[in-house]
Structure 1
Amino acid sequence: MRHLTTLAIVPIALLSALPAQAQMVTISPEQIGQIFCIGSLGNDMAPVEALLTPDLSAAIADAWVKDAQAESANPGDKPPLGDGIPWRTYPDYADGCEAFEGLTDADLAFVEISYSFASEPSANYTNTLVLKPIVVTEGMEPFWRIDDVDLGEGRSLRQALVEAFEQ
């Protein structure tokens, strides 16, 4: 009888020694906000650009093409995107940035990005990332991606890209 119990335990012990099924790690909306802050504070938005929806990536690429055309047509003048992509309300360098996840549902997520200035706290302001779930690989769960930035006062990154060339 003792051998029977041992034989029953061996398969269970062997199964528990097998590696667990790997789970895909996804980036949460708040983590995307943290990456956005790191890029903003480091003045390098390349990591952020990897987290954009295909539609927003295309809008930014189109804006850069228009900017190059404007610069070529008006040599010596500051081009419309002379300060870069308007990722935030003001181009001034903020020395503080913090991300706070807001409302999240199946279709959208909002992440507040609070910018602060150590030398001028009255200049602090908040923008909001608008994220959408995007299927990156068929058959896999969608990933959150940045689809726009609410710059406040009814303005957005997408609008700013369009308005930059309306002169």
Structure 2
Amino acid sequence: MRPVITTILFSTLCLPAAAQPVTLTPQQVGQIFCIARLGNDMAPVGGLLTADLAATISAAEARNEEVRRGHPDEKPPLGDGIPWQAFPDYADQCEAGKVTFMMDEARVALDYAFTTYPDAGFTDTLSLRLVEDPLGTRVWRIDDIAYANGANLRAALASAFLD
């Protein structure tokens, strides 16, 4: 009997360990955002948005396309793309900075800098929410961006079509 019990116990050690979900920290979300900004390719950020912000951006892009088709000789409101940062100038440095937590929310400072103009840097702030993904895991997602100039991404998208 003893060999049978030993065999059963040993065989349980050979089973694969239960996989634990690996979630990104707010700091890592900020780092991915900065890498995307510096690479001028925001596609990787699409999967890091809350469903609500993704829908807001999608609606703004659709409205922008309607305006573009209706006025082909004019630059549409989002002609320079989604305003992912406070100022449209390309910053050649971006660093995820200080992270602050408030219950199910986090703020990540994004420090932008310009090599040729060291005094022209600015700091935007990612607003993150802890949401449940389709597998039931709680993950950090970008819900807005507070710009250095006091505005934010959601307001910028809404006001782009007021004229």
Does structure 1 residue 132 correspond to structure 2 residue 133?
Answer: no
Alignment of 1:3-152 (within 5 A): 13-137=10-134, 140-152=136-148
Segments of 5+ residues of structure 2 without an aligned counterpart are: none
Query: Contact 2:86 / 2:148 at 8 angstroms: preserved in 1?
Result: yes
> Relative to structure 2, which stretch is displaced further, 33-42 or 98-107?
98-107
Please state if 1:165 is matched with 2:127.
no
**8 A Cα contact 1:96 1:115, kept in partner:** yes
Mapped to 1, the partners of 2:53 and 2:24 lie a distance apart of 19
* Contact preservation (8 Å) 2:107, 2:126: yes
CA distance in 2, matches of 1:120, 1:153: 18
Q: Please state how far the C-alpha of 1:153 moved relative to its aligned partner.
A: 3.3
Deviation at 1:101, TM superposition (A): 4.2
Residues 89-143 of structure 1 show CA distances to partners (whole Å, capped at 9, x for unaligned) of 11111111100241123320111111111010111111000001111125x2311
Deviation per CA, 1:21-53: give whole Å up to 9, x if none. Answer: 211100111111011001100000000011101
TM-score (norm 2): 0.90
Q: Output the amino acid matched with 2:18.
A: Q
Larger Rg over CA atoms = 1
Structure 2 CA distance, aligned partners of 1:144 and 1:93?
A: 26
TM-score scaled to structure 1, two decimals?
0.88
Q: CA offset at residue 84 of structure 1?
A: 0.5
Point out where structure 1 has 5 or more consecutive residues left out of the alignment. Answer: none
RMSD: 1.9
Structure 1 window deviating more from structure 2 (129-138 vs 37-46): it is: 129-138
Q: Partners of 1:36 and 1:165 in 2: how far apart?
A: 26
Cα 1:68–1:80, aligned 2, differ >3 Å: closer, same or farther? same
Residue 13 of structure 1: how far off its partner (Å): 4.8
